[in-house]
Structure formats: C-alpha cells, structure tokens
Amino acid sequence: MGDSGTVGGGFQGWPPQAFAWFEGLERDNSRAWFQAHRDTYERCVRAPLDALVAELEPAFGQGRARVFRPNRDTRFSADKSPYKTQAAAMIGAYYVQVSADGLTAGAGYHHMARDQLERYRPAAAGVAGAELAQLLAGYERDGLELWGEEVRTAPRGWSRDHPRIALLRRKGVVVGRHDPPAPWLHTAAARRRVEELWRAARPLVAWLERQVGPSELPERERP
C-alpha cells in the first residue's frame, strides 16, 4: 500500500506515515511544524478518517457525521498547544479516534447536559434502569470499558444507598475499546474493528435515545 489509506477510493486503514505524523506533532506541537507537514496530515490522517466516516455513516446515523477540526480551542486553557494530538469523528452517538496511541472507538452519551440528566436519572432508577444495568454488565463481560464522567457522591435528591447509585452517579454513559498500534490498523480491518464495536453498542445507544434523547438546551448551556 502507498502512503494513503484511501487507495482505490475506499477506506484501507491509516498508513504508517499517519502514526509517525502524530508522533512528530507530539514532539513539536507548533503551527510551523503543522504547516510544514500538512500534506501528510491531509493524505494519511484526514483522508482515511473521512473515508471511514463516509462508509459507516449510512448504517449509523445518516446526516449526523462530524469530523473534528485539528485545532484546539485554547481560549480557556492553560495549555496553549494549537493542535489536537488525535483525529476524531462522531456519527450521532458513535465515536472514533486515532492517534499515536492507536485506535479508540466508543458509543453512548459522554457528557449529558442538565436536561438530559433530569431524564436519565429517573429512568436509571426505575424499571428501565434494570435493562441498562444488564446491558452494561454484558458489555463488561465482553471486555468493553465503561467510560463517562461521574459525580463523587449521590446526586442531589438521590440517596447514596440507592440500589442503582453507581448508575445514578454517572454524567456520561459510554462503552468503548482502545487498541494500541498494530499492523492491522494499516488495513481495512480497522473499519471492521470500529464497526464491530458500534454494532455491539447499538442496544445501549437505543436505550439512551429512548430514555434520554438529545439536549434541548441552548448550545452555550451544554457541556
């Protein structure tokens, strides 16, 4: 394979140059370095990610795809590094990320807004919560990880002795998997790995969409 992951017009993985590019950016996260190596980013990082999203979008949320920009928002951060050291995309509730550390895929609601939490917690505490608990236990048995922010103690209005306090403390519910760098990431097997995780997570996404749904708050009031 050449230095593009889209030979023949379809996703064929990220070439080795992509991971070397990420390593270089980690060593020198500057605009000068990025501009000098922009062509490698476009061909070896961004083009394969675009191709992957194009292939998976019809099955996982047509019209809901978002490929994140490489630029960091540094306005409110002490870290003024201008670029993200990973490339990522979302299709609705489904997420994929590639970096020097490998490939990460996940699905769910990572940061629920206030109105979402107001719907999530009663659902998790009620009859529907039994289904959620069963789903998450099954994912853990299958070797997937449970991600998402949590509050340290019981949320306001809920007892710390509640039988589902572990679910009620959650502010995000995501299942995912991280794969370290390996030769198969340079092939179409990377798509199959992401698709396998996303298909497995469909029952969780369906539960969240049914019981919680999208935030109706203004954008400025969301996490």
pLDDT digits (tens, 9 = 90+) for 83-117: 999 999 999 999 999 999 999 999 999 999 999 99
Secondary structure, 3-state, 20-88: HHHHHHHHCCCHHHHHHCHHHHHHHHHHHHHHHHHHHHHHHCCCCEEECCCECCCCCCCCCCCECCEEE
- Does this model's pTM top 0.85? My answer is yes
Domains and CATH numbers, the chain: 7-213 (3.30.930.20)
From CA 166, how far away is CA 169, in angstroms rounded?
A: 5
- Strand 86-91 and strand 94-99: the pairing is antiparallel
- What confidence category does residue 39 fall into, taking pLDDT thresholds of 50, 70 and 90? very high
- What confidence category does residue 76 fall into, taking pLDDT thresholds of 50, 70 and 90? confident
Q: What is the pLDDT of residue 7?
A: 43
Which residues face 22 on adjacent strands? Answer: none
Which residue did the predictor score with more confidence, 75 or 124? 124
Torsion, Cα of 77, 82, 86, 89 (10° steps): 80
**For residues 174-195, average pLDDT:** 97
Q: How many percent of the chain have pLDDT more than 70?
A: 96
Asked if pLDDT for residue 122 goes beyond 70, the answer is yes
Amino acid identity at 186 = H
Asked if pLDDT for residue 131 goes beyond 90, the answer is yes
Asked if pLDDT for residue 49 goes beyond 50, the answer is yes
CA atoms within 13 A on the CB side of 21: 27
Lowest mean pLDDT among 11-20, 60-69, 103-112: 60-69
Asked if pLDDT for residue 157 goes beyond 60, the answer is yes
Query: ∠ CA 150-219-77 to the nearest 5 degrees?
Result: 65
